[in-house]
Chain A
Amino acid sequence: MQPLEMSAVDLVAALRQGDITAVESATVFLDRIEATNGSINAFLAVDREGALARAADIDARRKAGKPVGPLAGLPVALKDVLCTSDMPTTCASKMLEGFRPPYDADVVARLRRADAVFLGKTNMDEFAMGGSNENSAFGPVRNPWDLSRTPGGSSGGSAACVAGDMAPVAIGSDTGGSIRQPAGLCGITGLKPTYGRVSRRGLIAFASSLDQIGPMARSAADCALIMETIAGHDPGDSTSLAVDVPRYTDLLDKPLAGVRIGRVPEHFAAGLDPEVAKGVEEAFAVLMAAGATVHDVQLPHAKYGIPTYYLVAPCEASSNLARYDGAHYGHRCKDPGQRTAGHTGGFESPLVEMYCRSRAEGFGPEVKRRIMLGTYALSAGYYEAYYAKALRVRRLIRQDYLDAFQTVDLIGGPVSATPAFKLGEKTDDPLAMYLVDLYTVGTNLAGVGGISFPCGFTKSGLPIGFQLQAPPLAEPLLLQAADRFQRLTDWHRRRPQAVGVVKT
């Protein structure tokens, strides 16, 4: 079997058994990237030299009988929101074009220790703000299933590269759905862990109380494998949970008998695409056939999720992005001070000019919008009405989940109201774009875990995603349920024809 067709689990086993070398494996993916990235634009940076050197080192160590990590030789793509000391880290922004951090993110360090081979950094919506990967300063990403459509966002590059067989696994980040929604639109599996399960150190922050890093791959089993490496307590992250990491891969194979899955009637309201609704209902049927029971549950404040998210996230982002001011790193405008001198109505000083012009030049329109919105909502006189109000509603949303999980073990439903939409379809109306997060923001606001995986295809061949959400730290159950679904179906094995992928 070709590496491009193999699951990560199988590829790691093959590498371990010596059926394939790390260099051979890396080469296959690097060649694939070279052949297809031009039309997909999933990668912002490819480190061919570094990857092959790393692979060669792993092969040499294995040959010499030296110990190698549990993921030895596995090619991994990293969303360009993660700090890598040996590759640029841009967040798909002109603000950080060429930026090279002097340190690795905790997740990156863990994957390195596990001997993963990094192929490169994937494209994303700028600073993780977006739902279509059209907000990148370095061009949009195209959906491998239909190159005229978006892959979703903000982890659009990570989703597309897995869907397009450019990497067996990718790491993404999810603040309001940015792993799960693109996974859904690209027909792959993506997991957002419970808040605090994976360290955020080295994750370039968008909204600190919402961000989480997670795996994106072709299957829940592959996600489980990656989670064993990336999850765990980090004393360098105060919000990291000091809780042991379960052996997710060992816990996968469990029947669903007795598992209660909630179904939220409001999810099936007017805006939901009928084909998606059908796919989701069929998924429930599969899970029931596997022994789970389905029960109606309420998430009474779900409709307030988007406005709550679009206050909490921009407020935190407005502060997190204040550091990008041209002073210590990142883009600085040319000749600050030239407009101040003798220019009435201009900037009050060359320093202020440097800040204002550097940031105006470095940030794209969506980032600026959210910074402005957040600054406004936190400013004197508005704090109580907006930010504080949103935090109170956040508590109500979280309570909805905790209440629901009294009667069910999981909540199932759509991950996106529509399948992949056309490039340019929603870019004129920021609010329309915000609504793509409808089914996913609640998970982040509540701090719980969620997984999405393919449950069908539209008539036109676009993937339909299904989402499961779980109580805090119930990743084992999420992965088990998704894995069980994937033993009974083969939606996750389908591959897009659009980019000439090897057929299974």
Chain B
Amino acid sequence: MSTTAPYTTIIGLEVHVQLMTRTKLFCGCSTKFGGAPNTQVCPTCLGLPGSLPVMNRRAFDLALRAALALECTIAPFTKWDRKNYFYPDLPKGYQISQFDLPFSSDGFLEVVDPKGAFEPCRVGIVRVHLEEDAGKSMHDEAAGTRDSRIDLNRAGTPLCEIVTQPDLRSPQDARAWLNELKLLLVYLGVSDCNMQEGSLRVDANVNLHIPQADGRVAKTPIVEIKNMNSFRSVERALTYEAARQWEDWQATKAEMGKTPKQTRGWDDPAGITRAQRHKEESSDYRYFPEPDLVPVTVSQQQIASLRGEMPEPPVSLRKTLAAKWNIPAYDADVLVNQGRDLVDYFEDLATRVGEGKVASNWMQQDVLRILNETNGTVSEFTVRPEGLADLIGRVKKGDFDTSRAREIFAEMVTSGRPVDTVVAGMGIAAVSDDDVIALCRELLAANPKIVADVKSGKEQAAAGLIGQAKKKNANVNPGKVRAVCIDLIRGME
């Protein structure tokens, strides 16, 4: 943080992720996204009279996995509690959650930018707990009806709630940290963290710390921001809110503690936060132990066994890759950030090519580029590691230069065919040295001006011959043409 900034922004996040289980937390209904309303419901998740919950073991294991990766302490004994409130998307009139004995607490997740755009930011995790999701309430303003429509498909979906310490110091940090959290949870197979589908939701708490002339630090009231639908919205909302609080501070000098915590909703199209109605009794949830569920114990053996079967998380995978393949931290970061599938592809490629950096370059400059252009995934990518390795090997041998290789690669991607077939189809053949010399002689004869330039010391002028050379014979290696031309010119007197 710059010493000249008048305030420090203090940010904490509350993240809810839906766990990637096949069924809900307390019943066997499917958790698939996008089903027709009220087709994935049963007496338990509908909250019908007499219904009872039974805990999904896989949900608990995935939650444990997330907590372990977030370096949390796992409670040896944990229990469930009822959070009581009335809302139509909550059919039982209470949510089964965890209150005073969550299954994990006191962890952290660090985010580092290898380009140094921001300082490494280690964010403490207060707790990670497991709870059930509510259903969906839909209100169609345009239809003009006075009804809301309630779909309970989502009710009962397992959620992990992750609460951070207020350790973030800028909206950029927050966004980067969320990206890192998402990457981690996707790597672990815990959640697909898709904000568009609602499998990841974020609320933020933000206030300002303003150093005073007398050495005291004034703190503005904490504001909770809701309704941010993307990481970009989170960054924008926090940026707006920090500025708004600064304005407010200058106008009112209102400090934390004198007013209750405010909730504001982010309005993305308008680009502002708006105060929400303060509901007086809404926060008395009357938590008490859930009598329909028994407590859960977690042993050290269980934890060790879960650690053993956990996929390698990004933070250590970056280091592993860099060391194993002798590639820079930046490269490892880019590769890891694309996900496990891409890392697997890279490692397969690097093994075949026998060299990390070359493989990494091809991944970044070519594979990723094409994937981004086509919005494709690496698992569906037509060229498999063996095909690309083949191509790279040929480049190494000097069969073609890099730009030629790119053309071949593009054709391989489109056609799905291997190198040899593509090369033959494109009429590519190796050009003999004699043919290159002959061709260069032709070019020099046709380009007296360029010859004169080169002779007078401007070697870069030779570049003008390359385009012509390729027109005459697409298979020539431009580098070779250039070198031979210059040699020939030098040989002339």
Contacts and interface: CB of A to CB of B under 8 A. Distances in A.
Interface of A: 82-83, 89, 91, 96, 99, 101-103, 105, 200-205, 207-209, 235-239, 315-316, 318-319, 321-325, 327-329, 337, 350-352, 355, 375, 378-380, 383, 387
B291 A323 contact: no
Given A239-B294, A328-B150, A378-B286, 20 more contacts: A82-B50, A96-B49, A101-B43, A203-B50, A205-B292, A209-B291, A235-B54, A237-B52, A238-B293, A239-B291, A315-B288, A318-B286, A319-B94, A322-B94, A323-B49, A323-B91, A324-B49, A325-B93, A375-B286, A380-B286
Q: Which 6 A/B pairs are nearest by Cβ-Cβ distance?
A: A322-B93, A208-B291, A378-B286, A209-B291, A202-B50, A204-B49
B92 A238 contact: no
B99 to A, nearest CB: 11
B86 A325 contact: yes
B288 A383 contact: yes
Given A101-B50, A351-B88, A379-B286, A208 B93 contact: no
Most A CB within 10 A of own CB, among B146, B291, B292 = B291
Given A325-B93, A328-B91, A201 B51 contact: yes
Given A236-B54, A327-B150, A101 B49 contact: yes
Most chain A C-beta atoms within 10 Å of own C-beta, residue among B50, B51, B94, B287:
B50
Interface string B135-172: 00000000000100010100000000000000000000
A83 B43 CA distance: 11
A235 B52 CA distance: 10
Given A103-B43, A319-B94, A378 B51 contact: no
A89 B93 contact: no
A418 to B, nearest CB: 32
Contacts of B150: 327-328
A387 to B, nearest CB: 6
A350 B50 contact: no
Contacts, number: 103
A199 B94 CA distance: 22
The secondary-structure label for the interface of chain A is loop
Q: Tell which of B48, B52, B53, B84 has the most Cβ of chain A within 10 Å.
A: B52
Nearest to A96: B49
A201 B44 CA distance: 10
Interface of B: 43, 46-55, 82, 84, 86, 88, 91-94, 146, 150, 152, 284, 286-288, 291-294
Given A102-B43, A378-B286, A238 B49 contact: no
A83 B84 contact: no
A383 B81 CA distance: 14
A133 B146 CA distance: 41
Taking chain B's interface residues, is the majority helix, strand, or loop, or is none over half, making it mixed?
loop
12 contacts: A82-B50, A99-B49, A101-B43, A201-B50, A208-B292, A237-B54, A238-B293, A318-B286, A322-B92, A323-B47, A323-B49, A355-B86
B51 to A, nearest CB: 7
Contacts of A324: 49
Contacts of A319: 82, 84, 93-94, 286, 288
Contacts of B88: 327-328, 351
A387 B293 contact: no
Contact of A387 (B54, B84, B152, B288): B288
Contacts of B287: 383
A200 B52 contact: yes
Contacts of A202: 50-51
B137 to A, nearest CB: 10
B50 A379 contact: no
A180 to B, nearest CB: 21
A63 to B, nearest CB: 36
A323 B91 CA distance: 6
A258 to B, nearest CB: 35
B288 A105 contact: no
Contacts of A91: 49
A322 B86 contact: yes
B74 to A, nearest CB: 21
B356 to A, nearest CB: 52
Contacts of A82: 50
A85 to B, nearest CB: 11
B129 to A, nearest CB: 18
Nearest to B49: A204
Contacts of A103: 43, 48
Nearest to A83: B50
Q: Considering residues A101, A322, A350, A383, which has the most beta carbons from chain B within 10 angstroms of its beta carbon?
A: A322
Given A103-B43, A323-B91, A323-B93, A378 B49 contact: no
Contacts of A325: 86, 93
A89 B48 CA distance: 12
A171 to B, nearest CB: 14
Nearest to A382: B286
B195 to A, nearest CB: 28
A132 B492 CA distance: 122
A101 B51 CA distance: 10
A379 B284 contact: yes
Contact of A378 (B50, B146, B288, B293): B288
A89 B49 contact: yes
Contacts of B286: 318-319, 375, 378-380, 383
A318 B93 CA distance: 10
A89 B291 CA distance: 23
Nearest to A352: B86
A502 B53 CA distance: 46
A317 to B, nearest CB: 11
Contacts of B288: 315-316, 319, 378, 383, 387
Most buried by B among A91, A202, A207, A375: A202
Contacts of B91: 323, 327-328
A278 B54 CA distance: 48
Contacts of A102: 43, 48
B52 A236 contact: yes
A102 B48 CA distance: 9
Interface centre among A101, A207, A208, A319 (most CB of B within 10 A): A319
